[in-house]
Amino acid sequence: MAFSFPAFAYIVALITDAFLIFFSIFHVIAFDELKTDYKNPIDQCNSLNPLVLPEYLLHLLINVLFLLSGEWFSLLINIPLILYHIHRYYTRPVMSGPGLYDPTSIMNADVLTSCQREGWIKLAFYLLSFFLYLYGMIVVLIAA
């Protein structure tokens, strides 16, 4: 039973994906708190912004592994999200620090809802891909 590189990639992806799921849960909760006035937007942005780049990088890491291991299908599924992340970061408001969220515009109802929706969609995506990676890992291991 050889422990192939694809298998390694899937195992890493599984662990990373679990982190991503936590990230998006945190994201959803944070925006819910904003909506219900539990938190000050400045504080909330200060806690959200440092997490944006790590999330994107983790996601990128998975895909680099997939690329190297030649898991094209898994990679293909993730490409739209990568593109979205790049677009999102490219069009972020003028900020000196890292991050996406600007406390002065985040309370706009449109921004709030779209961010929250984004959180839910990502959560669903990461959950589904978690099972996909699990399946992929098993397939790779069995094939080996």
Partner 1 sequence: MSNLPPNPFVSQPGANANPVQAFNHNQYAQVPLGQLPPGYGGLKDNNSNSPLHGTISPQNNAIQNINNFNQSASSSPAFNQPGLVQGGMQGSPMRPFPQSSKPLNQISSPSPVFVSNPNPYTPNYQPQKQINDNVPPLVPPSQHNQPLVNGPPLAASMPNPTSSSYSPVPPLNRPPVGGYGPSSINQYGPAPNTKPSGPQSLPIQHSTQFPGPPLAGPTNIGTSVPPVSRNVGPSVPGPLNPPYASPISGPVTNPPISGPHMGFSVNGPRSNALPPNSAVEARPVGLNGPLPPVSGPPKQFSSANPLPMMPSVSSPPGQPYLNQPVSQPGLNSNIGSNVPTALIPPMNQNIPVNQQAGPPSGPTGGPLKSNMQSRYPQMPQASYNQQSAPQQSTKYPQQYNAQGLTQQMGQLSVTKQGFDQLWGHHMIDLLQTRHILPEYPEDPPEIKLGHQFADSPNCSPEIFRCTLNKIPETNSLLQKSRLPLGILIHPFKDLNHLPVIQCATIVRCRACRTYINPFVYFVDAKRWKCNLCYRVNDLPEEFQYDPVSKSYGDPSRRPEIKSATIEFIAPGEYMLRPPQPAVYLFLFDVSQIARDSGYLQVVCDVLMSNLDQLPGDARTQIGFICYDTHVHYYSMGEGLARPKEMTVLDIDDIFLPSPESLLVNLGERREAVCALLGALPARAAPAPRGPAPPASALGAALQAAYRLMAPTGGRITVFQTCLPTAGPGALHSREDPNARSSKDVNHLNPATDFYKRLALDCSGAQLSIDLFLLNSQYSDLATLSGMSKFSGGSVYHVPLYSSARPQHVRTLQRMLTRYLTRKIGFEAVMRVRCTRGISIHTFHGNFFVRSTDLLSLPNVSPDVGFGMQLTIEESLSDLQQVCFQAALLYTSSKGERRIRVHTLALPLASTLPEVLHAADQHCIIGLVSKMAVDRCVSASLAEAREALTNVAADALSAHRLAQNAPAAAPGLPAPAALRLLPLYLLALLKRKAFRTGTSTRLDDRVADMCSLKCLPLEQLLRLVYPALYPLHALAPPAPPHDAPCPPRLHLSAERINSNGAYLLDDGECMIIYVCHGVAPAFLADAFGVSAHAQLGDEGRALPRLDTEPSALLHAFIDKLNDDRPYASEILILKDNSPSRHLFLERLVDDRVESAFSYYEFLQHIKSLVK
Minimum CB distance to partner 1 smaller for 94 or for 142: 94
Q: What type of residue sits at position 61? A: L
Q: Is 29 in the site for partner 1 (CB under 8 A)?
A: no
- The binding track of 55-74 with respect to partner 1, each residue x by CB under 8 A or -, is --------------------
Structure tokens at 112: 């709030």
CA atoms of 96 and 79, how far apart (whole Å)? 28
| Nearest-10 crossing angle of helices 109-143, 5-35 | 160
Q: Is 18 in the site for partner 1 (CB under 8 A)?
A: no
Judged by CB under 8 A, the chain residues 102 through 121 that form the site for partner 1 are 102-104, 107-110
Q: Is 140 in the site for partner 1 (CB under 8 A)?
A: no
E strands, the chain, where?
none
Q: Which DSSP state fits 100?
A: S
Closest separation in Å from C-beta 44 to partner 1: 10
**Contact positions toward partner 1, by CB under 8 A?**
34-35, 37, 40-42, 93-96, 102-104, 107-110
